[in-house]
Chains A and B, each alone.
Chain A
Amino acid sequence: MSPFGIFRKKGAKKAKRGDKSSDKLRSGLKKTRQKVGGGLRGVLFSHRKLDQELIEKIEEQLYIADVGPRSVTRFCGELQEAYRTGAIKDPIRVIEFLKEFIRKELDQWDTGLRLPREGVGVIMVAGVNGSGKTTTIAKLAKWLLDRDKSVLLAASDTFRAAAVQQLEIWARRVGADVVKNESADPAAVAFDAADKALARSYDVLIIDTAGRLHTRKNLMMELHKIRRVVASKIPGAPHETLMVLDATTGQNAISQAIQFNDSIELSGIVLAKLDGTAKGGAILAVKEQVDVPVKFIGVGEGADDLIPFEPEEFVRAMFD
């Protein structure tokens, strides 16, 4: 079929754009820390030099954190190089070296939420089914309300049964307002919401969207349309386009990030469900291919369980 030009090369566009808290992250990532760090530590003390066996152990720990083949290979390459040049002399220093190396890469990220000083700031939230969008939106609304912003939510998930009710219940809990309408067109809901946000001078409008697999082209076009409609109402909007990524996701995170970024130009990722035993290392694999910063992490089911992403803390939690 290819001779008919129905394939198109696609490029992974880069997205670029930028509060603090740390106890919560650390407790949220405690299990992660114990597992990865604990395992590695034990290995390190039993090794005197950086031999093949030790490299393999380190590899294993990285793989188990979902870091993925490409990044694992690169990290281990760096490690061996550092050992060869004498930058690491003692295997005990391997963790420090890795931590430092990864932290430096993540430090380049602008992780702050970029909303305009004047007018309505718009945040669009997307992601695959079940990644945790609606819960994340509730937490994000709470986070903004706690910072004295007025928040309006657009119930643009018109597809999933009872998605609107779910958002409404959350909105009541955290004290945000919701716009919904009878239309099955998510863009129409977003349009109405933008209208209301402007008329009532809300500080922030957050748009919920239906979960969709990134491989569904027409559904990705629908997201693009929501984006366009909102931009036509509020110039510069959406100011933040966030993809919610389930921390238990493996290497498919790469494909998700690329496809969502291609369709709606992501400004950030929210790494949800980090309170389980998954380590969220897939964000390192994602970073190899599309550089979208992680801006928040979700660490529980409560309305307060969303905290800004801190590279330093994240890396420490992975290895300490």
Chain B
Amino acid sequence: MFETVSNSLGSFFGKLRRKPKLTAQNIQDGLKEVRLALLEADVHYKVVKAFIRAVQEKALGEEVIRGVNPAQQIVKIVHDEIEALIGPVDTTAPMAGDGPTVLMLCGLQGSGKTTTCAKMARYLSENYKCRPLMAAADVQRPAAIDQLETLGRQIGVPVVSDRGASALKVAMQARLKAAKEGLGPVLLDTAGRLHIDDDMMKELRQIKNRVKPHQIYLVADAMTGQDAVTSALEFNRQIEFDGVILTKLDGDARGGAALSIKAVTGKPIKFVGLGEKLDRFEPFHPDRMADRILGMGDIVGLVEKAEQVIEEEDARRMEEKLRRASFDLEDFRKQILMLRRMGPLRDILGHLPFIGARLGDMEFDETQIGRIEAIISSMTSQERARPQIINAGRRQRIADGSGTDPVVVNQLLKQFKQMKKIMRKLGRGDMQSIADAMPPGFEQMSGQKFPG
């Protein structure tokens, strides 16, 4: 069974929440857990060591002064330190005053340069009202040029390519074309290469010297382990990049590489790639990343996401209902619809602290949500408002209507009742008791599943 250290971090902080004060001993214990969490998140060993030392000093200085919740205090110190290390960051793209701006992407094989190139072109054209141009300067990998051309067509961005020419020549051509036609920025997609491949690194240096990109970005895979430090250091030593684009952050990698790279090169993470779709590209948020590395969930991200999707009025009404515990199945159905608009549910729950950690060995089945929706949709409005009127006959009708089974309908009703209990606590704003109430319910019910 897959068990992450962040689970233990979650449970540690769970225990700590009940302790009245921060003491030298529980700082020690806490930091031991934090250290493991960071190592598990692939932060480089030496970075972890330095980091823990810094946090310890800070925490000890604050120890007896405050009587606030010690867990919050440690979390805050750790979180702030990480955030300070990886932020602040200027995520505006530089635009040259005269002539085309040139941005160069480089990195190891498979880090996601070509996809990132297209995403960034799309992002720039949307946010900066410019007309970017991409240069297919990866002349190594088979079909890399075709790939960029296809992506270029998808986003309506022109691509300069020249099969048989050198990477340098393609880059020069692109720059020339951009100058002539008033396009820009020029995005250079270069071949993936090992930092220890002298010939290939030389090619990058040549492009840098001749084409003079305004910014160079290292494209790095969020799943990278300890080697992130070695490769980033070498790229930085040889061509000195200006920033990092962290890719594949839509997975479950904790992304400790971000912290390592920043710590050893001093170069900030500027953008992140979050999926295969070309619009999944965002400026980097140090605070969210800090949460993620710690495995504590990304509350800020969730709140922002929710704000975009859920109408404030709806949310207010829902909250009111929750507080009065008059939340019925119809509300529940609405909420499912709302949640669905926010994206994959696993993403959303993963955002939540403590729940995120507990998701560890759970699998999230979106199809069940569809089934729940179907069942509730097959109920009359009276049934939704007052589920207690649902008798055997009604149950059978609902089952038939939703293509399920009376047993399943019954399960849903039973579980809804349990959920309402939790909701009532939520309504009282009693987060502590919810967190405490969750685990048994969570584990016990997670084993259940709708038949069929």
Q: Which residue of A is nearest B253, CB measured?
A: A252
Task: Give a binary string over A1-25; 1 marks a CB under 8 Å from any B CB, 0 the rest.
Answer: 1111111111110000000000000
Instruction: State which residues 58-72 of A face B: CB under 8 Å.
Output: 60, 63-66, 68-70
Q: Which of B144, B339, B422 contacts A3 (CB 8 A)?
A: B422
B142 proximal to A (CB < 8 A): yes
Known A-B contacts A64-B226, A217-B366; A250 and B256 likewise in contact (beta carbons under 8 Å): yes
Residues in B whose Cβ lies below 8 Å from that of A131: 110
CA distance A4 to B441 in the complex (A): 11
With A165-B143, A170-B142: A276-B227 Cβ-Cβ less than 8 Å: yes
In the complex, the answer to whether A251 meets B225 with C-beta atoms within 8 Å is yes
In the complex, whether A292 has a CB less than 8 A from a CB of chain B is no
Which range holds the interface residue count of chain A?
35 or more
Instruction: From the candidates B42, B142, B194, name the one contacting A165 in the complex (CB within 8 A).
Output: B142
Q: Is the CB of A128 within 8 A of B223?
A: yes
Which residues of B sit under 8 angstroms from A128, Cβ to Cβ? Answer: 223, 248, 251
In contact, B446 and A166 (Cβ under 8 angstroms)? no
Contact between A248 and B221 (Cβ–Cβ < 8 Å)? yes
Question: Would A132 and B110 be within 8 Å (CB), given that A60-B45, A248-B231 are in contact?
Answer: yes
Interface hit among B61-69, B172-180, B409-417: B409-417
Chain A residues, CB < 8 A from B108: 248, 273, 276
A218-252: which have CB < 8 Å to B?
218, 246, 248-252
The reply to whether the CB of B365 lies closer than 8 angstroms to some CB of chain A is: yes
| CB atoms of B150 and A66 under 8 A apart | no
Report A269-320 residues with CB < 8 Å from chain B CB.
273, 275-279, 282, 289, 301
B427: min CB distance to chain A, Å:
16
* Interface status of A215 (Cβ within 8 A of chain B): yes
A window 152-201: CB within 8 A of B: 159-163, 165-166, 168-170
Q: How far is the CB of B22 from chain A (nearest CB, A)?
A: 25
Closest Cβ of chain A: how far from B389's Cβ, in Å? 21
Is B143 a contact partner of A277 (Cβ separation < 8 A)? no
Q: Are B441 and A275 in contact, with the CB atoms below 8 A?
A: no
A255 within 8 A of B: yes
Q: Which residues of A contact B416 (CB under 8 A)?
A: 3-4
Determine the residue in chain A with the shortest Cβ distance to B335. Answer: A1
Q: Decide if A255 touches B45 in the complex (CB within 8 Å).
A: no
**Which residues of chain B (134-155) have a CB below 8 Å from chain A?**
141-144, 146-151, 154
Among A2, A69, A162, A250, contact of B146 (Cβ-Cβ < 8 Å): A162
B227 touching A130, Cβ below 8 Å: no
Of B33-41, B91-99, B307-315, B398-406, the one with at least 4 CB within 8 A of chain A: B33-41
How many B residues have CB within 8 A of the partner chain?
77
Q: Does B369 contact A (CB under 8 A)?
A: yes
- Chain A's closest residue to B365 (CB) is A6
Contact check, A5 vs B112: say whether CB atoms are below 8 A apart.
no
- A252 contacts across to B, CB distance below 8 A: 42, 223, 251-254
B residues near A256, Cβ cutoff 8 Å: 223
Contact for B39 among A7, A68, A273, A275, CB less than 8 A: A68
Interface residues of A in 1-56 (CB under 8 A from B): 1-12, 31
Contacts of B346 in A (CB 8 A): 215, 217
Known: A3-B419, A215-B346, A250-B225. A31 touches B196 (CB 8 A): yes
B24 at the interface (CB under 8 A from A): no
Other-chain contact of A129, B112, B143, B449 (Cβ < 8 Å): B112
**Does A5 lie within 8 Å of B253, measured CB to CB?**
no
Provide the bound-state CA to CA distance between A5 and B142, in Å.
Answer: 46
Identify which of residues 110-129 in chain B touch chain A, using a CB-to-CB cut-off of 8 Å. 110-112
Task: Say how far A125's CB is from chain B's closest CB, in angstroms.
Answer: 14
Report A-chain residues with C-beta under 8 Å of the C-beta of B151. 161
A276 to B221, CA, bound (A): 15
Q: Does B225 lie within 8 Å of A6, measured CB to CB?
A: no
A1 CA to B361 CA, complexed, in Å? 16
Q: Is the CB of A276 within 8 A of B196?
A: yes
Cβ–Cβ < 8 Å partners of B44 in chain A: 64
Contact of A246 among B42, B110, B142, B230 (CB under 8 A): B110
Question: A5, B449: Cβ atoms under 8 Å?
Answer: yes
Chain A hits for B195, CB < 8 A = 276-277
Residue A214 is within 8 A (CB to CB) of chain B in the complex: yes
On whether the beta carbons of B223 and A273 are closer than 8 Å, the reply is: no
CA distance A3 to B250 in the complex (A): 26
Question: In whole angstroms, how far apart are the Cα atoms of A170 and B144 in the complex?
Answer: 12
A213 beta carbon closer than 8 Å to chain B: yes
User: Which residue of the partner chain, among B141, B221, B223, B448, contacts A5 with CB atoms under 8 Å?
Assistant: B448
B221 and A3 within 8 A (CB): no
**CA distance in complex: A169, B140 (Å):** 12
Given contacts A130-B110, A169-B142, contact A68 B251 (CB under 8 A): no
Question: Which residues on A sit within 8 Å (CB–CB) of B320?
Answer: none
Residues of A within 8 A of B254 (CB): 251-252
- Minimum Cβ distance to chain A for residue B168 (Å): 20
> Does A264 sit within 8 A of B, measured CB to CB?
no
Asked if A4 and B196 make an inter-chain contact with CB atoms under 8 angstroms apart, the answer reads no
Is A126 an interface position by the 8 A CB rule?
no
Question: Least Cβ distance of B52 to chain A in Å?
Answer: 13
CA of A143 to CA of B41 in the docked complex: distance in angstroms? 36
Are B194's CB and A249's CB within 8 A? no
Closest residue on chain A to residue B46 by CB atoms: A60
Q: Is the CB of B147 within 8 A of A162?
A: yes
Contact yes or no, A5 B450, CB < 8 A: yes
- From A6, A130, A162, B221 is in contact (CB under 8 Å) with A130
A254: interface (CB < 8 Å): yes
From known contacts A6-B369, A252-B252, infer whether A278 and B363 are also in contact, taking CB-CB under 8 Å. no
* A130 neighbours in B (Cβ, 8 Å): 109-112, 221, 248
Chain B residues with CB under 8 A of A1: 339, 345, 349
Does residue B72 face the partner (Cβ distance < 8 Å to A)? no
The interface residues of chain B lying within 8 Å CB-to-CB of A249 are 221, 223-225
26 contacts between A and B (CB under 8 A): A2-B441, A2-B445, A7-B362, A8-B363, A8-B446, A9-B446, A60-B45, A64-B226, A70-B5, A128-B248, A129-B276, A130-B109, A159-B276, A161-B146, A163-B143, A165-B143, A169-B143, A213-B251, A246-B223, A248-B108, A249-B225, A250-B253, A250-B257, A252-B253, A276-B108, A279-B227
List of 9 A-B pairs having minimum Cβ-Cβ separation, nearest first: A250-B225, A130-B110, A250-B42, A161-B150, A162-B146, A169-B142, A162-B147, A166-B143, A165-B143
Known: A1-B349, A161-B151, A166-B144. 4 other contacts (CB 8 A): A70-B5, A170-B142, A246-B110, A276-B195
